[in-house]
Amino acid sequence: MARLYQATRPGYPPELACFVAATASVGAGDQVLEVGCGTGQLTQALLPFGFALTAIDLGAAMIQIARERIGDSGVSFRAVSFEELDAAPGTFGLVIAGAAFHWIDPEVRFRKAALLLRPGGWLAMAGYDERYDEPLGSALDAMWHARAVGVGAWVTRRADADAIGGSGLFGPPAERTFSHRIVRQVRDVIGVENTRATSLSWPAEVRRAFSAELRERIGDLSEVAVTVEASVTMAPVLAAAAGA
């Protein structure tokens, strides 16, 4: 699944990384922690800034592919969860996560991020939303809802901003969204939908039926257009909380 994730998941635009670096006032040599790096989609966008970057992920296979992708760039990759990460208080000027922070234990995520940040440091939560052109977009939504059990793991920028504010550990959030269009081959449409956490939780027969229905909905098209909205919500740690 890590190989499929690498092959089909979109990366983050340079504009988002530039916004994060400028807002957090971090640059070459600054200690930065990326949480849930996956196979390096966001990591790659952070490379040009020359950060002293530590990138962690719970999946050893994800880390292996991220190392292959990034190469000899000076990034320190570690296969460890954020909850178990051993780092000194006040180490980082920026803690950033791409489509991963909502997976962390709610009792840990903001408290530990504040602990690891130096005074004046920032927490940034990035993610992206994908919308296929019609009629595929509505058809795919209907397919997901038909198989939904309970509430999914999807989060919104508004939820991110509210959660940061509700923690009492960070200042007012800054938010930005960057939209761009891509064309995705049909095999990659099916591939990326099979890397969603929700679909990975289904039994194998349900996943096979989902993929077959999706292929039928696409019809004889060889590629489809997608609008990708990459977003980030970030906030500075309060002085009383930094490294405390």
By residue count, the chain amounts to: 244
115 token code pair: 């602990």
Task: Give, for all 244 residues of the chain, the pLDDT tens digit.
Answer: 778 777 778 889 999 999 999 999 999 999 999 999 999 999 999 999 999 999 999 999 999 999 999 988 889 999 999 999 999 999 999 999 998 998 899 899 999 999 999 999 999 999 989 999 999 999 999 998 888 765 444 444 556 778 888 899 999 999 999 999 999 999 999 999 888 878 888 899 999 999 999 999 999 999 999 999 999 999 999 987 887 6
Q: Please report the pLDDT score of residue 117 as a whole number.
A: 97
Q: Please report the pLDDT score of residue 195 as a whole number.
A: 85
2-236: which CATH topology?
A: Rossmann fold (3.40.50)
CA-CA-CA-CA torsion sign (174, 6, 49, 116)? positive
Cα–Cα distances in angstroms (integers) from residue 137 to residues 101, 140, 227, in the given order: 26, 5, 10
C-alpha span between 201 and 91 (Å, rounded): 36
Q: Please report the pLDDT score of residue 201 as a whole number.
A: 83
pTM: 0.89
Q: Please report the pLDDT score of residue 138 as a whole number.
A: 94
Residue type, 129: D
Return the residue matching tokens 């049909």.
186
Query: Helices then strands (H, E): number in the chain?
Result: 10, 7
